[in-house]
Amino acid sequence: MIRCLSLQDRDRMYFIINRSARAYQGKIPDDCYHRPYMPLPELEQEMRRIAFFGWEEDGELVGLMGIEPIEDVTLIRHTYVLPGWQRRGIGGRLLDYLRQTVTTPRLLVGTWAGAGWAIAFWEKNGFGLVPDKDELLRRYWDIPPRQIETSVVLGMEVGGKIKETGRQINTSLGLKSKKCT
């Protein structure tokens, strides 16, 4: 089941992100990897801007994905599925759901160049690597130069059409707090 996430979910989100992010160890530059990968105050800050949705199994959150419209594009942010639940289609279903909410023509996602599995996941779901990634990362993301240097961007054209579920989600995205109602 997909549901939108709120500050009440932050401890479980913190667990999922930092457990899943262990996959980065040894794959991304050592100076970019730390534990926790995303400290709680950083997650709380991200939750003020980004609308997060999660996948529940038997009432327990096991995966999450964020969406952040900026100017003329929409960014997918912070996608994590707990290791024991990966490769069962949860990431793909979260993406399918969020994709329906997108009102901009272009959907973008950034990931580490060394995270081959993540690149495979986005490509499997219709994204393609873009050539102007540095320019895009500087324009739409707020990340350090070292992360820009060691990241890639994948994009897809979505047409900006709003479907039925999209209307509901966009209503919540339109709220000032970006919290789900």
Ligand X SMILES: CC(C)(COP(=O)(O)OP(=O)(O)OC[C@H]1O[C@@H](n2cnc3c(N)ncnc32)[C@H](O)[C@@H]1OP(=O)(O)O)[C@@H](O)C(=O)NCCC(=O)NCCS
Chain residues binding ligand X by CB under 6 A are 20-21, 23, 79-81, 86-92, 109, 111, 115, 117-118, 120-121, 124
Smallest gap from residue 57 Cβ to ligand X (A): 11
Neighbouring CB atoms inside 10 A of 66's CB total: 23
In angstroms, the Cα distances linking 151 to 16, 154, 179 are 22, 10, 29
Of 101 and 151, which CB lies nearer to ligand X in the complex structure?
A: 151
What pairing do the DSSP bridges indicate for beta strands 60-70 and 73-81? antiparallel
What residues contact 15, with CB distance under 8 A and at least 6 apart? none
Of 148 and 162, which CB lies nearer to ligand X in the complex structure?
A: 148
Of 38 and 169, which CB lies nearer to ligand X in the complex structure?
A: 38
Smallest gap from residue 4 Cβ to ligand X (A): 18
Of 69 and 112, which CB lies nearer to ligand X in the complex structure?
A: 112
- The token duo for 12 is 């479980």
Smallest gap from residue 135 Cβ to ligand X (A): 19
Smallest gap from residue 20 Cβ to ligand X (A): 4
How many residues comprise the chain?
A: 181
Smallest gap from residue 27 Cβ to ligand X (A): 9
CB 18 within 8 A of CB 37: yes
CA distance 5 to 34: 25
SS3 state at 141: coil
Of 67 and 109, which CB lies nearer to ligand X in the complex structure?
A: 109
